[in-house]
Amino acid sequence: MDIVLKIWRQKDQDSTGKLETYTLEEVNPDMSFLEMLDTLNHNLVKQGERAIEFDHDCREGICGQCGMMIDGIAHGPLKHTTTCQLHMRSFCDGQTIQIEPFRAEAFPVIRDLKVDRSAFDRIIASGGYVSVDTGQAPEANSIPIAHHDAEAAFDAAVCIGCGACVASCKNASASLFTAAKISQMTRLPQGREEAGTRVTRMVRQMESEDFGHCTNTEACEVECPQAISVLHIARMNYEYNRAGIFFNKA
């Protein structure tokens, strides 16, 4: 199949970017989307031109490093799928595909399709952990966890930190990302003692970054590669208010 690509090119954070048009012929439908970009880059480099910079690493849908807006949708048209797991069979011969970086003030563009998502790391650093040092752990089976609780915690813990939730949200809110971690920890007995501090600090950190607020449009859940439920946001809000009442000093 032959395709036309309109791709965002931007030299660095301070430069103005624009969409450039490229054509690519004989695309194999079994190629992954990133392999299609590899092929385009190969052609560009062979002509001595700069390759299109994009983030990617594991190409198995688990590291969370890849991600771009494909025809305006984070990670493209296939539901609950990262960009690296998207294949060209999801597109048609002759189609024009528009590719842009994840757009959010909190994710400044580094170059082309690469963005800086370190705000996510700062949110985790503010409290997304159980405060246990190496060596302090009790025997593993001394903390029994009901099967359904472990599974529910898991449903939140699967977040890959790609940022599609932020990119999909009209407010560029990081609520789903933050809530997933808070909700995972809330379902587990470990770290229960610091639950109030955790939720308070993480929410404050989230708000201090350039993310917007959640207005419950639920777009994040629709685009999340791991299909993480917006109900975790409700849980985060509940925990936050609870912390405000019971752990005021946090």
Partner 1 sequence: MSRILEVRIPDGPLPEKWSNYKAKARLVSPNNRKKLDVIVVGTGLAGASAAASLAEMGYNVKSFCFQDSPRRAHSVAAQGGVNASKNYRNDGDNVFRFFYDTIKGGDFRSREANVYRLAECSASLIDQAVAQGVPFAREYGGYLRNRSFGGVQVSRTFYARGQTGQQLLLGAYQALMRQVSAKKVTLYARHEMLDLVVIDGRARGIIARNLDTGQTERHAAHAVVLATGGFGKIYYLSTLAMGCNASAIWRAHKKGAFMANPSWTQIHPTCLPQSGAYQSKLTLMSESLRNDGRIWVPLQHDDTRAPGAIPEEERDYYLERKYPSFGNLAPRDIASRAAKEQIDAGKGVGPLKNAVYLDFSKAIGEYGKSTITERYGNLFTMYKKITGIDAYREPMKISPAAHFSMGGLWVDYDLMTSVPGLFAIGEANFSDHGANRLGANSLLQACVDGYFVLPYTLQNYLADEIRTPRFDPDSTPFIEVERAVKAQLQQFTDCRGSKTADEFHRELGRELYDKCGLLRSGEGLRNAIRNIRELREAFRHDLLVPGHTDEVNSELEKAGRVADYMEIAELMCIDALHREESCGAHFREEYQTAEGEARRDDERFCYSAAWQWTGNPSEPVLHKEPLVFETITPTVRSYK
Site for partner 1 in 221-250 (CB under 8 A): none
Residue 204 in the binding site for partner 1 (CB under 8 A): no
Residues 84-113 contacting partner 1, CB under 8 A: 85, 87, 89, 110-111
Comparing C-alpha atoms, which of 69, 155, 135 is closest to residue 104? 69
30 binds partner 1 (CB under 8 A): yes
171 binds partner 1 (CB under 8 A): no
Contact 169, 212 (CB under 8 A): yes
Judged by phi (left if over 0) then psi (alpha if -120 to 50, else beta), residue 135 lies in left
Q: Which of 63, 73, 234, 250 binds partner 1 (CB under 8 A)?
A: 63
Contact flag: residue 46 with partner 1 (CB under 8 A): yes
Closest to partner 1 by CB, 105 or 215: 105
Options 53-61, 97-105, 212-220, 238-246: segment touching partner 1 (CB under 8 A): 53-61
- CA neighbours within 13 Å on the CB side: how many for 196? 11
- 79 lies in the binding site for partner 1 (CB under 8 A): no
Q: If binding is defined by CB under 8 A, does position 6 make contact with partner 1?
A: no
Asked whether position 197 contacts partner 1 by CB under 8 A, the answer is: no
d(CA 83, CA 73): 10
CA 30 to chain centroid, in Å, comes to 25
Per CB under 8 A, 160 contacts partner 1: yes
